[in-house]
Amino acid sequence: MTTEMPGDDASAPSLDELSDRADRTPRRLGHTEGGPTGESALPESAMRKAAAVKDEVQEQAVQAAEAVRGTAARAVRAARDHTPTEVLDRAGQVMAQAHEAVAHLGHLATDATPPQLRERAGRAATAARANRTQLLVLLGAAALAAAVLRAMNRRRR
C-alpha cells in the first residue's frame, strides 16, 4: 500500500498554474476588480435585482403606513359615532377649561423661565400640535382608563 503525498502526482498543477486559475476565477464568476482595496463588485444583474427588491419593499412600507392611517381614522370615527352627545359636550367644556388653564400657566411660566428652556418647550408644543389627533386619542383613552379604574375601586369597597 502506497500513500501519495501532495505534489507527488506528475499531473498536479504547478504553482504558477494555480495562481493563474485564482486570478481568472473572479472574472469567470462575473465579478470585476474593485478599487485599490481589491474589492469585488456585484454583477450588474444582481444590482438591478437588489434595486427592484428595494423598490418593492418601499412600496409595501407605504401601503402598510396607509393601511394603519386608515384603520386609525376608522377607529376615531367609530369612537365619535358611538359616544353620547352629553359626553362629547362635557369633553368640549373640559378641553376649553384645560386650554384656558394651560394658556394662563404658559403666561406665568414664560415670565419665570430662562430663554433656552422656553425654546425647548416651544419645540415640544409644536410637535404636540402636529400630532393633535394622536394626542387627543391618547388623552381620551387615559380618561376612559381612569373612569374604569375608579368604578372598579368603588365596587371593591
> Which tens digits make up the pLDDT trace of 71-94?
988 988 888 888 888 888 888 899
In whole angstroms, how far apart are CA 67 and each of 61, 96, 131, 151? 10, 33, 18, 35
Summarize pLDDT for 102-125 with one digit per residue, the tens.
998 878 867 877 888 778 878 888
Does this model's pTM top 0.75? no
Distance of CA 93 to the CA centre of its chain: 36
pLDDT of residue 41: 58
Give the amino acid at 31: H
pLDDT of residue 100 exceeding 90, the answer is yes
Q: C-alpha grid cell for residue 64? A: 402598510
pLDDT of residue 39: 47
pLDDT of residue 30 exceeding 90, the answer is no
pLDDT of residue 26: 59
Residue 43 phi/psi, 5-degree rounding, is -65, 155
Residue 41 DSSP SS3:
strand
Give the amino acid at 156: R
Looking at the DSSP assignment, which residues form a beta bridge with residue 41? 32
pLDDT of residue 21 exceeding 80, the answer is no
Query: 27-31, 44-48, 99-103, 150-154 — which is least confidently predicted?
Result: 27-31
Question: How many whole angstroms separate alpha carbon 54 and alpha carbon 43?
Answer: 17
Looking at the DSSP assignment, which residues form a beta bridge with residue 32? 41
pLDDT of residue 35: 46
**pLDDT, averaged across the chain:** 77
pLDDT of residue 76: 85
- 31 exposed, middle or buried (CB, 10 Å; 0-12, 13-18, 19+)? middle
Residue 39 phi/psi, 5-degree rounding, is -70, 155
Higher pLDDT: 13 or 148? It is 148
